Amino acid sequence: MTAYNQIASNKRRTAILIAIFIIVIIALGYVFSKAMEGGIAGVIFACAIAIGMSLISYYSGDKIALWTSGAHGPVTKEQNAYVYRLVENLCLTAGLAMPKIYLIPDAAINAFATGRDPKHASLAITQGAIDKLENEELEGVMAHELSHIKNYDIRLMMVVIVCVSITTLLANWFFRFNFLGGRKKGNAGILFLLLGVMLAILSPLVAKLIQLAISRKREFLADASGVLLTRYPEGLARALEKIQAENQPLMRANKATAHLYIANPFSGKKSWFANMFSTHPPIAERIKALRSIA
């Protein structure tokens, strides 16, 4: 499979997952409004709160992510010419504006990109990645992260987070309204109430699984897009092999920002069940996909 085919395939799958998300939210809104006998105003209110919270995260999320990781910067060319020029050359190739570069004082090999669009982007890399990766390997990692910026992955994930927030708030609001409000219902109301209870229990779990699935698909997409920049899939494949072999967690790993990193910032081997709830696909699968690119 070529890099272009892999990118097209991942984009199609992501679009399908987003469509499923929209259908789930519409179904939830309809069933909950019926179960609450026309209480659509509360549903709209819950959605407004979710969107408002997400907008705040959208415009300040990059600062929060950098602060959470303990990143220092931005780094100038004089402070670290090697990393700065490497990123600068990749940006010229990709036609991207130069992002701000931050260093994370951590011995683990990892990196992430953040920002709402290419003009408001930052790239953070651990000291361990700089020290332990060869030039082509570090270039592969940086190309992967720049691809997240170029592909607007942060914007996509923000849309997904809005959907998850709406779904969770709808479920919580439904439970509070029905079981604390104590309203009486007719036969149709009881039927919709039972259906609503089932959806309220299952929908947050389904929403979270869809969010994680999209996050994993975007990692494959960024891998393939990064190869188009470097024209050398082996560089990123070797970097991922080193990350897998080292299996070292970040000192300031955080579940809220784990999906941003090139590899899961938490260590330990995961079972197939745990992988269902992981923000990243197994590294072995990513390496296999990279080495299958023609």
Q: What is the 3-state secondary structure (H, E, C) of 158-225?
A: HHHHHHHHHHHHHHHHHHHHHHHHCCCCCHHHHHHHHHHHHHHHHHHHHHHHHHHHHHHHHHHHHHHH
Nearest-angstrom CA–CA distance, 57 and 61: 5
CB 107 within 8 A of CB 242: no
Closest CA to 75 of 87, 65, 62, 64: 87
- The neighbour count for residue 95, using CB atoms within 10 Å, is 8
Q: How many CA atoms lie within 13 A of 252 on its CB side?
A: 13
Q: How many CA atoms lie within 13 A of 68 on its CB side?
A: 17
88, 136, 139, 145: which is the annotated catalytic residue? 145
CB 110 within 8 A of CB 245: no
37 a catalytic residue? no
Q: How many residues does the chain have?
A: 294
**What amino acid positions are annotated as catalytic residues?**
145
